[in-house]
Amino acid sequence: MGDPEPTGFFEAAPEAMARDADEPLVWFGDVHLAYDRPILKGVSFTLRPGTTKVVLGGSGSGKTTILRLILGLLKPDAGTIVVDGTDVGVLGEEEMRDVRLKIGMVFQEGALFDSLTVGENVGYRLSEEGEMEEEEIEARVREMLGFVGLATHYEKMPSDLSGGQKRRVAFARALVARPQIMLYDEPTTGLDPITATTITDLICKVRDLDGVSSILVTHQLRDAFNVARTFMIKKDDEYVTSVVDDIATLEGTEFMMLREGQVLFEGSPYELQTSTDPYIREFLS
Amino acid sequence: MAQSRTLAFLASLGRRVAQRFMESVLSLQEYMLLSWRGLVAVSTPPHYAREIVAQMDSLGVGSLSIVILTGMFTGMVLTLQSAASLDAFGARPYVGRLVCVSMVRELGPVLTALMVTGRVGSGMAAELGSMVVTQQIDALRVLGSDPVRKLVAPRLLAGIVMVPILTVISDTLGIFGGSLIGIFNLKLSWEFFWRSVGNALTINDLVMGLVKPVVFGFILSSVGCHMGLRTTGGTQGVGTSTTRSVVVASVLILSSDFFMTKLLLVLFPVT
């Protein structure tokens, strides 16, 4: 496939790509969390730079909770969560803002602000930071909207968009501040297969062309394997997609299966597909 | 056997009461904390000017018509009822004095606050509740905003500033409505009615009539925000929060009115 050419919109990417490959971007160490019932029971895993971690599991298995813990929206009862060298389990809301600057999050259903236009939604973080002129923000926002294929939707309101378009706007909003880590919470749930492929292609683009590490939470096996199999390069201003058929040779994507708040499986797509665990076999069938 | 069933029932009842009590204490704690953080955000920069103007417009200008109608009809009814009672003592000419003091000290602030609670407090709970269940509050935090500063502080400020202004409008319209009844129905002279109004009002009445709506404005906004932000359970939860915010804010407004009146009567006695 050769080395990927830079996309041009993600100038901060070299920072992410230049990291020590052994230094984890996200590290969970024996994390426990419970409300009226246990949610996570001793979850441990690592996200290495430039890789994608696909978190699979049924409803209520604790997948989304992992993303909320990384973002500091929840605090663990026990265990350690380190994001880019910072223990986020002990940080207050103010201190978490610096950590959150490194993370882009695509919420389930998008979570766009109803009262703001598409352009204002995408540029929200930049406006809040207050470090860029309005013209610069607008230019960046239009660039991001172009990247997700919604350049003409700048003035529209979220209520005017379809489900798939909302996810793509949420994608642009998450990317606009050039994060080192992307978190996706069920980004394809409820979408038709064609729209879902558009979203998984975007995930691959950001991973392959800009070296952004990501955690993809989903229970859509088809989309999870699409992300693992698909690779993107940019040639002469055109995005070229290649799909690897031999799953045993896949690199860069790790799968993790949660069951009732515990890690049931962690390994490559091939190891997942060849697992003999009855629960995994049932999940894959 | 029957005894053990009774014991089990009592134990279960006790557990539920204790759980309910703990939930109430926790909710009160959350409310106090949110109110404090909201007041700190109101009094320290940065402020979201666009949000503040939007909330003042929604709460103030948007509530103008119902406040005008409520104030005016209350003043008119009060005049009719008071005149009927005062006639028994031959004191009909004092009706203007009675209407004016009642409107300024009590009815204007309370009725305005209750009307605004029904119209705006419920809306605040519904709007913030919807933002919670659609993860927009989480998105705000992730994108670097403080939801208290961005959402709660502008609503608190709008309540504290606009409810007193609406109350003054309601008082004025109430007395005006009363004067119309006094002149056209009770055959009092325009001049006499308004002179008795002017003679009746003291600075203590004005203080009481303006302190109360500031507190009421704070209560209706803070309760609306609190109920909205603690919404759980999807769209059904939004409905529950909305109803609860109106009930709780109305009860708090009426009960705090009693205690404030007691306190203000001591601090600013009727002369």
pLDDT in tens, A135-184: 999 999 999 999 899 999 999 999 999 999 999 999 999 999 999 999 99
Is residue B230 within 8 Å of B241, Cβ to Cβ?
yes
**Subunit contact B139:A111, Cβ cutoff 8 A:** yes
| Nearest CB partner across the interface for A113, out of B136, B142, B144 | B136
> How many beta carbons lie within 10 A of that of residue A61, not counting itself?
22
Q: Which two tokens stand for residue A134?
A: 């309005």
| Backbone φ/ψ region at A34: left (φ over 0), alpha (ψ -120 to 50), beta | beta
Give the contacts of B132 (CB within 8 A, at least 6 positions apart). B228, B229, B230, B231, B232
**B142 at A interface, C-beta within 8 A:** yes
Mean pLDDT of A9-26: 60
Q: Which two tokens stand for residue B159?
A: 């309540």
Minimal CA separation from A215 to chain B, in Å:
16
Minimal CA separation from B98 to chain A, in Å:
47
Mean pLDDT of A205-214: 90
At residue A210 the predicted structure's pLDDT band, cuts being 50, 70 and 90, is confident
- Residues in chain A with CB shorter than 8 Å from the CB of B146 are 93
Residue B239 phi, psi dihedral angles, 5° rounding:
-60, -45
Sign of CA dihedral B140, B141, B142, B143: positive
Task: Give the chain B residue whose CA is nearest to the CA of A72.
Answer: B142
Query: Range with the lowest mean pLDDT among A45-54, A234-243, B75-84?
Result: A234-243
**Subunit contact A73:B142, Cβ cutoff 8 A:** yes
CA–CA separation, A254 and A258 (whole Å): 13
At residue B12 the predicted structure's pLDDT band, cuts being 50, 70 and 90, is very high
Does the global pTM surpass 0.90?
A: no
Instruction: Write the single-letter amino acid at B230.
Output: R
**B135 at A interface, C-beta within 8 A:** yes
pLDDT greater than 70 at residue A6? no
At residue A18 the predicted structure's pLDDT band, cuts being 50, 70 and 90, is low
Q: Which pLDDT does position A211 carry in this prediction? A: 87
Mean pLDDT of B118-130: 96
Give the contacts of A124 (CB within 8 A, at least 6 positions apart). A113, A116, A173, B143, B145
At residue A113 the predicted structure's pLDDT band, cuts being 50, 70 and 90, is very high
At residue A14 the predicted structure's pLDDT band, cuts being 50, 70 and 90, is very low
Mean pLDDT of B77-92: 90
Longest CA pairwise span in chain A (Å): 56
* Chain B residues 146-175 with a CB less than 8 Å from chain A: 146
pLDDT digits (tens, 9 = 90+) for B155-209: 999 999 999 999 999 999 999 999 999 999 999 998 989 998 988 899 999 999 9
Q: Which pLDDT does position A4 carry in this prediction? A: 40
DSSP A185: E
Beta-bridge partners for A57:
A258
Task: Give the chain B residue whose CA is nearest to the CA of A126.
Answer: B143
At residue B90 the predicted structure's pLDDT band, cuts being 50, 70 and 90, is confident
| Nearest CB partner across the interface for A111, out of B135, B145, B146 | B135
pLDDT digits (tens, 9 = 90+) for B13-59: 999 999 999 989 999 999 999 999 999 999 999 899 999 999 999 99
pLDDT digits (tens, 9 = 90+) for B227-267: 999 999 888 999 999 999 999 999 999 999 999 999 999 99
Q: Supply the ipTM of this predicted assembly.
A: 0.87
**Subunit contact B135:A108, Cβ cutoff 8 A:** yes
Domain regions of chain A by residue span: 1-7+24-60+77-102+180-285, 107-178
In this structure, which topology does domain A1-7+24-60+77-102+180-285 adopt according to CATH? Rossmann fold (3.40.50)
Query: Range with the lowest mean pLDDT among A3-17, A63-77, A211-225?
Result: A3-17
- CA-based radius of gyration for chain A: 18
**B51 at A interface, C-beta within 8 A:** no
Q: What angle do CA B138, B161, B28 make, to 5 degrees?
A: 50
Q: Which pLDDT does position A5 carry in this prediction? A: 41
Mean pLDDT of A92-112: 92
Neighbour-count burial for B103-116, b at 16+ CB within 10 Å, e otherwise: bbbebbbbbbbbbb
Q: Which two tokens stand for residue A275?
A: 């697992």
Beta-bridge partners for A104:
A182
